[in-house]
């Protein structure tokens, strides 16, 4: 029997931005010669029909077979790019992340593109306007036009140089008018060309301390993948180590990627980089305007950016010539995305360094237990800086026992005295209170009513300046009532203290000293942090007060007194990571003290001065504290000893999430899931934005069993019947138990 041999039709396998955890197959566009499609490069965008609409996918593979029957396959509509927008390394990293985090690959690849390109808009490479001679201009004899010597000179220059940027024309002394006249005569024309990037140069660095030298010489940039953990106390000169390492990498002609927790909060970091390097430094964060983002993306992927300084999502930036990755403040929770694609940029970065066979440096004063564990077990190379760089001493801790003390404006007599003394000595004070707003609740003194959020199981925070009650979980707000809605009493009492109230108290207590508040409310305007920095740089007495934002790597050389106003909440967290976070926070905030010439002092106000973990932290330092916590985690079988997976479900009905997670657990048990289930339990804040939230935690012994469990859990969840309103999600290596 003879078969007619049919050449197989190429199948285009695409990733499409949809919530489905799978790839999609299409036939070539009908308008195209199918044979030509075998040679399409991966990473280009293709427009395809998707359901009843059309969308844009990214080509992963051209293959011979599809699991979809041939008559069900649809034709793609249009090939959108000639050149790939995502290179092979990026595709591989994104697909690894999709598989590891069990997230739909399309959403991840989309996130690696600037927003405009996700919708299929044509890609026009970033360029800068240049001028050149037009055909008419080229045909002109030399020296013309004779009666306009300036114009003739400019034409001559363009003839010699082929193309000039506007700035170069100006620099050569030609007025805008000369250029305009040539344009009117159609002798010159404008076009865009890629920016010309000069070789990076570098200012001399500081003379390194012995410890810094040892660290720097331990890091090998030539020897492929290696992960280094740099554990260096606050002010030990980690940034100087980064800068000198970057200089080495740049002089070898490679690109460097630096991830930091938040760029807007630490304008200093960018400035230090700009001062040290005459180089193209691409800044990448979510607050960028669309044009700037695309330019930075473009510079990076064409190798024109020498350094990319970015937040979490910058880890997916294409860098063809990447030679080194640095993660500053690697312990910071902001590296883990808490919704949607719940990835850890730090962990993805380590994977990326491994894929590209390059070194990666994780730096912090307060390593996460995960990284510390990797260092102690020699998976990472452990580097330490135990002393401050500029001969500064480490700050001295003192706990202030609040029990039975008469407080003024939330401050103990001891703290008040220290603030006065510090200001009197001409120095600056930093006060930390991790609660914004005026007061965390408003209560009726007559009937006990407490203002609560309409949509969450949460109290409303009083923002007195705006006269609003605001929910810090969902953003809902309402004007402050004059009377209790339950009993009409006018005895409404603001209970507790937030930064707005502390600011007011301080202004009354220290009327002659400027008080600068740093929290999400006061910093919402652009450049607000810059203004604070300018003020601080005056080196005059002032009181800085703020939230978590103050803990992030700032260098305030004139702050000599730091106080954490209320650490009691942090001492008793329900989360198993609570103590670790507390240790990091206290150490980081304290680390802002005494970074200049004068020694620093840290006062901790608490009702629990004898708390054992606090004692360890203050007495023996974060390093010892963290090593003890690590021992406890091993006993509990909690990360980094053992792996966690969190399944969450939320719905408008109270128990729909619970029912769903119960069925999930039952089926998982039947299938002998290689992990141990805890739950379903209500989430700590059970109702949020009107939705009831439940969670099921799965604990696994090892990474391989965790990966197998995750695979199985997703497969089960995708098969389970879900009420229309129910949303479920999976979180691999969850950071927050909320
Ligand atoms: P970290 O990043 O570890 O908190 P920084 O890099 O901000 O520390 O350094 C703290 C201070 O010490 C800065 O003012 C920095 O200029 C200074 N410094 C760092 N290294 C040196 C050095 N080798 N010699 C003198 N001063 C240094
Ligand atoms: Zn009342
Ligand atoms: Zn709310």
Angle at which helix 149-161 crosses helix 176-184, to 10 degrees, equals: 80
Whole-number Å distance between alpha carbons of 683 and 579: 20
Query: Does the C-beta of 234 come closer than 6 Å to ligand 1?
Result: yes
Average confidence (pLDDT) over 286-304: 85
Q: What is the pLDDT of residues 190-200, one digit of tens each?
A: 887 777 777 88
Query: Does the C-beta of 239 come closer than 6 Å to ligand 1?
Result: yes
| C-alpha 240 – ligand 1 centre gap (Å) | 6
Query: Does the C-beta of 596 come closer than 6 Å to ligand 1?
Result: no
Query: Does the C-beta of 209 come closer than 6 Å to ligand 1?
Result: yes
Confidence grade of residue 100 (pLDDT, cut at 50, 70, 90): very high
Mutate to test the pocket of ligand 1, among 205, 208, 237 (most ligand atoms within 8 A of CB): 237
| C-alpha 430 – ligand 1 centre gap (Å) | 20
Report the SS3 class of residue 192.
strand
Residue 8's alpha-carbon distances to 29, 49, 247, 605, 699, in angstroms, are 15, 22, 52, 74, 46
Q: What is the pLDDT of residue 5?
A: 57
Q: What is the pLDDT of residues 561-580, one digit of tens each?
A: 999 999 998 888 888 899 99
| C-alpha 446 – ligand 2 centre gap (Å) | 5
Q: Is the pLDDT of residue 470 over 50?
A: yes
Q: What is the pLDDT of residue 6?
A: 64
Q: Is the pLDDT of residue 459 over 80?
A: yes
Q: Which ligand is nearest to the CA of 443?
A: 2
Q: Is the pLDDT of residue 214 over 90?
A: yes
Query: Does the C-beta of 390 come closer than 6 Å to ligand 1?
Result: yes
Q: What is the pLDDT of residues 22-73, one digit of tens each?
A: 899 999 998 888 888 888 999 999 999 998 999 999 999 999 888 888 888 9
| C-alpha 596 – ligand 1 centre gap (Å) | 10
Q: Is the pLDDT of residue 263 over 80?
A: no
Minimum mean pLDDT range among 243-247, 248-252, 260-264, 396-400: 260-264
Contacts of 572 (CB under 8 A, 6+ apart): 578
Give me 77's structure tokens: 């509509």
Q: What is the pLDDT of residues 495-535, one digit of tens each?
A: 999 999 999 999 999 999 999 998 888 887 777 888 888 88
**Hunting for tokens 């396998």 — which residue is that?**
13
Q: What is the pLDDT of residue 493?
A: 92
Query: Does the C-beta of 435 come closer than 6 Å to ligand 1?
Result: no
Query: Does the C-beta of 600 come closer than 6 Å to ligand 1?
Result: no
Q: Is the pLDDT of residue 2 over 60?
A: no
Q: What is the pLDDT of residues 693-730, one digit of tens each?
A: 999 999 999 999 999 999 999 999 999 988 888 999 99
Report the Cα 437 to chain-centroid distance in Å.
24
Whole-number Å distance between alpha carbons of 405 and 399: 13
Average confidence (pLDDT) over 320-338: 95
Cβ distance 718 to 729 under 8 Å?
no
Average confidence (pLDDT) over 383-397: 90
Question: Taking the CA of residue 174 as centre, how many other CA atoms within 13 Å lie in the half-sphere pointing to its CB?
Answer: 25
| C-alpha 460 – ligand 3 centre gap (Å) | 8
Whole-number Å distance between alpha carbons of 629 and 620: 13
Q: What percent of the chain has pLDDT over 70?
A: 98
Cβ distance 380 to 363 under 8 Å?
no
| C-alpha 421 – ligand 1 centre gap (Å) | 27
Q: What is the pLDDT of residue 539?
A: 87
Query: Does the C-beta of 134 come closer than 6 Å to ligand 1?
Result: no
DSSP states of 627-680 as a string? HHHHHHHHHHT-TTSSEEEEEEEEESSTTHHHHHHHHHHHHHHHTT-SSEEEEE
Q: What is the pLDDT of residue 1?
A: 46
Task: Classify residue 116 as exposed, middle or buried by CB count within 10 Å of its CB (0-12, 13-18, 19+).
Answer: middle
Residues paired with residue 730 on neighbouring β-strands, in sequence order = 647
Question: pTM above the 0.85 mark?
Answer: yes
Whole-number Å distance between alpha carbons of 109 and 442: 45
Report the Cα 542 to chain-centroid distance in Å.
30
Q: Is the pLDDT of residue 436 over 60?
A: yes
Q: Is the pLDDT of residue 150 over 90?
A: no
What distance separates the 2 farthest-apart alpha carbons in the chain? 103
Determine which helix (DSSP H) or strand (DSSP E) holds 563, and give its type and residue range. strand 559-564
Q: What is the pLDDT of residue 738?
A: 58
Confidence grade of residue 164 (pLDDT, cut at 50, 70, 90): confident
Q: What are phi and psi of 689, to 5 degrees?
A: 50, 40
Instruction: Give start and end residues of each alpha helix (H) in 194-237.
Output: 210-218
Mutate to test the pocket of ligand 1, among 365, 389, 539, 590 (most ligand atoms within 8 A of CB): 389
Q: Is the pLDDT of residue 417 over 90?
A: yes
Q: Is the pLDDT of residue 402 over 60?
A: yes
Confidence grade of residue 398 (pLDDT, cut at 50, 70, 90): very high
Query: Does the C-beta of 244 come closer than 6 Å to ligand 1?
Result: no
Whole-number Å distance between alpha carbons of 132 and 165: 9
Instruction: Give start and end residues of each alpha helix (H) in 377-486.
Output: 413-424
Query: Does the C-beta of 437 come closer than 6 Å to ligand 1?
Result: no
Q: Cis ω on the peptide bond leading into residue 680 (within 30° of 0)?
A: yes
Q: Is the pLDDT of residue 308 over 80?
A: yes
Whole-number Å distance between alpha carbons of 507 and 513: 8
| C-alpha 547 – ligand 1 centre gap (Å) | 24
Whole-number Å distance between alpha carbons of 382 and 374: 9
Q: What is the pLDDT of residue 265?
A: 66
The pocket of ion ligand 2, defined by CB under 5 A, consists of 444, 446-447, 449, 484, 486-487, 489
Q: What is the pLDDT of residues 236-246, one digit of tens each?
A: 999 999 999 99
Q: Which ligand is nearest to the CA of 452?
A: 3
Residue 337: how many CB atoms within 10 A of its CB?
17
Q: What are phi and psi of 508, to 5 degrees?
A: -75, -40
Query: Does the C-beta of 117 come closer than 6 Å to ligand 1?
Result: no
Say what the alpha-carbon torsion angle 597, 598, 604, 609 is, to the nearest 10 degrees. 110
- Show the CA angle centred on residue 27, arms to residues 23 and 30, nearest 5°: 145
Tell me which of 167 and 545 has the higher pLDDT: 545
- Best-predicted range by mean pLDDT (8-17, 148-157, 296-305, 662-671): 662-671
Q: Is the pLDDT of residue 92 over 50?
A: yes
How close are the terminal C-alpha atoms of the chain, in Å? Answer: 66
| Ligand 1 atom nearest to 208, measured from its CA | 23
Eight-state DSSP code of residue 555: -
């Amino acid at each position: 029997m003879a078969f007619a041999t049919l050449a197989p039709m190429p199948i285009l396998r695409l990733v499409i931005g949809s919530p489905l955890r799978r790839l999609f197959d299409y036939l070539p566009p009908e308008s195209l010669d199918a044979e030509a499609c075998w040679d399409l490069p991966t990473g280009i965008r293709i427009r395809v029909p998707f359901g009843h609409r059309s969308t844009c996918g990214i080509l992963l593979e051209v293959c011979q077979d599809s699991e979809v029957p041939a008559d069900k396959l649809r034709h793609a509509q249009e090939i959108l790019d000639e050149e790939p927008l995502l290179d092979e390394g990026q595709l591989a990293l994104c697909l690894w992340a999709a598989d590891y985090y069990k997230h739909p690959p399309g959403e991840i690849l989309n996130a690696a593109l600037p927003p405009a390109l996700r919708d299929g808009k044509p890609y026009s490479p970033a360029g800068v306007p240049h001028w050149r001679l037009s055909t008419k201009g080229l045909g002109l004899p030399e020296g013309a036009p004779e009666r306009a010597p300036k114009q003739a000179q400019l034409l001559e220059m363009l003839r010699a140089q082929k193309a000039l940027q506007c700035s170069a024309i100006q620099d050569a002394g030609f007025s805008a008018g000369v250029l305009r006249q040539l344009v009117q005569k159609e002798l010159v024309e404008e076009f865009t060309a890629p920016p010309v990037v000069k070789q990076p140069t570098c200012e001399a660095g500081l003379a390194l301390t012995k410890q810094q030298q040892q660290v720097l010489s331990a890091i090998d940039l030539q020897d492929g993948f290696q992960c280094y953990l740099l554990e260096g106390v606050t002010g030990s000169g980690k940034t100087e180590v980064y800068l000198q390492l970057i200089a080495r990498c740049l002089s070898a002609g490679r690109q460097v990627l630096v991830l930091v927790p938040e760029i807007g909060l630490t304008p200093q970091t960018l400035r230090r980089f700009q001062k040290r390097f005459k180089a193209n430094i691409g800044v990448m964060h979510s607050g960028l305007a669309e044009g700037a983002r695309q330019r930075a993306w473009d510079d990076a992927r064409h190798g024109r950016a020498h350094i990319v300084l970015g937040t979490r999502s910058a880890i997916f930036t294409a860098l063809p010539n990447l030679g080194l990755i640095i993660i500053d403040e690697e312990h910071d929770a902001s590296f883990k995305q808490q919704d949607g694609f719940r990835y850890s940029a730090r962990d993805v970065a380590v994977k990326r360094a491994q894929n590209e066979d390059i070194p990666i440096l994780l730096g912090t004063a307060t390593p996460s237990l995960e990284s510390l564990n990797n260092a102690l077990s020699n998976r990472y190379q452990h580097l330490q800086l135990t002393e401050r760089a500029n001969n500064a001493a480490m700050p001295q801790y003192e706990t202030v026992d609040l029990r039975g003390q008469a407080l003024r404006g939330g401050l103990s007599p001891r703290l008040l005295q220290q603030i006065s003394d510090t200001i009197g000595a001409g120095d600056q004070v930093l006060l930390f209170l991790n609660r914004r707003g005026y007061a965390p609740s408003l209560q009726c003194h007559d009937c006990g009513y407490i203002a609560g959020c309409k949509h969450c199981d949460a109290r409303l925070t009083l923002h007195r300046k705006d006269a609003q009650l605001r929910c810090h979980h969902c953003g809902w707000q309402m004007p402050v009532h004059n009377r209790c809605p339950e009993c009409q009493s006018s005895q409404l009492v603001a209970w507790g203290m937030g930064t707005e109230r502390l600011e007011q108290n301080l202004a009354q207590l220290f009327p002659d000293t400027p008080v600068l508040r740093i929290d999400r409310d006061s910093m919402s305007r652009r450049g607000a942090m810059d203004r604070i920095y300018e003020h601080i740089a005056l080196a005059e007495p002032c009181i800085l007060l703020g939230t978590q934002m103050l803990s992030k790597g700032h260098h305030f050389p004139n702050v000599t007194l730091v106080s954490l106003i209320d650490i009691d909440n942090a001492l008793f967290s329900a989360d198993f990571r609570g103590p670790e976070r507390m240790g990091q926070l206290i150490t980081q905030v304290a680390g802002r003290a005494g970074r200049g010439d004068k020694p620093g002092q840290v006062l901790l106000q608490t009702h629990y001065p004898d708390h054992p973990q606090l004692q360890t932290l203050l007495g023996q330092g974060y390093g010892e504290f963290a090593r003890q916590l690590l021992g406890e985690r091993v006993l509990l079988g909690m990360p980094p000893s053992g792996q966690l997976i969190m399944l969450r479900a939320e719905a408008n009905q109270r128990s729909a999430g619970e029912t769903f997670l119960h069925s999930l657990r039952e089926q998982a048990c039947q299938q002998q899931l290689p992990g141990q289930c805890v739950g379903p339990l209500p989430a700590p804040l059970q109702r949020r934005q009107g939705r009831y939230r439940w969670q099921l935690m799965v604990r696994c012994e090892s990474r391989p069993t965790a990966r197998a469990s995750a695979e199985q859990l997703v497969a089960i969840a995708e098969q389970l019947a879900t009420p229309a309103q129910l949303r479920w999600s999976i979180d691999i290596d969850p950071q927050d138990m909320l």
